[in-house]
Amino acid sequence: MCQYSYLITGASGQLGTEWKRALENAGANFTAVDSNELDITDRTAVSEFIRYHEPDVLINCAAYTNVDEAEDPDSANEVVNHAGVRNLAEACAQTGTLLVHYSTDYVFSGAIDDRQRYPNGYPEDAPLRPINAYGKSKLRGEEAVRESGAHHLIIRISWLCGSYGKNFLKTMLTLGSKRDELTVVNDQIGSPTFTFDVVDFTQKLITLNETGIYHLQCNETVSWFDFARMIFCEAGMDTKVMPVDSSAYPVKAVRPVFSKMDTSKLRQKTGDADISITDGIRRVLNEINETDHPST
């Protein structure tokens, strides 16, 4: 990892923070910026910034992730997830920089019938049919990367969790410490991706000089309800979790019912064994409990 120079965009988010920690620990040469330091929607600024720093690898952790607000045409969803990504990709094509871009399971339709069609989850070449504005913008971002001519890795992740920032796992811990009983939806199924696994496997793919599209998430197929119960079990909390349908929590954006992705391509390339949800939860809990580790 130390042989490369890195540029991290979206460095203040949970994934960007995980990348900063990993690169600092490795003694790598990197520059990390958030939107206050580099607005990826400013094409000229992006081009000049990347030409000045000339990184070997650009890790794009910048994204608009508010799925419900993305339904508003005036939101920053399209300009960040599509136009901003296009700016990064075109600049990387000019400098020969490898662009690592993170996408999402939301590029698929998430139809319940697809569970039978794809028992191991969506493969990388499954039909792309996003059902909400967020998913559509992420798909257009993927297309912009592929069309740019830049060397690239597109890694699709889902249900992102880690010890930094806000995510489902940490929300459950907070709610569970305040309530004896919670209701969690049981009709949306998929699997989480942990931030440290994202960094580890991305590094392996970079070292292997891999390009193209890969899927990364844990192996087990679970519902949000299942995931919540696993979190409380590992945390030693007695919070009771009750399953409910998604109709109990009306939202603006339609959610995929089926979000499992096939990760066999990644495992074959890296030679790694299965990625466990339980192991991921335990690692997050350990990191949160470390006295010198930030809680946000």
Asked if residues 75 and 69 have their Cβ atoms less than 8 Å apart, the reply is yes
Cα 273 from Cα 69, distance rounded (Å): 37
Task: Tell me the pairing of strands 181-185 and 160-161.
Answer: unpaired
Exactly one of 102, 134, 164, 214 is catalytic; name it.
Answer: 134
Half-sphere exposure of residue 283, counting CA atoms within 13 Å on the CB side? 14
Residue 122 annotated as catalytic: no
Residue type present at position 84: G
| Cβ atoms of 58 and 123 closer than 8 Å | no
The residues carrying an active-site annotation are: 134
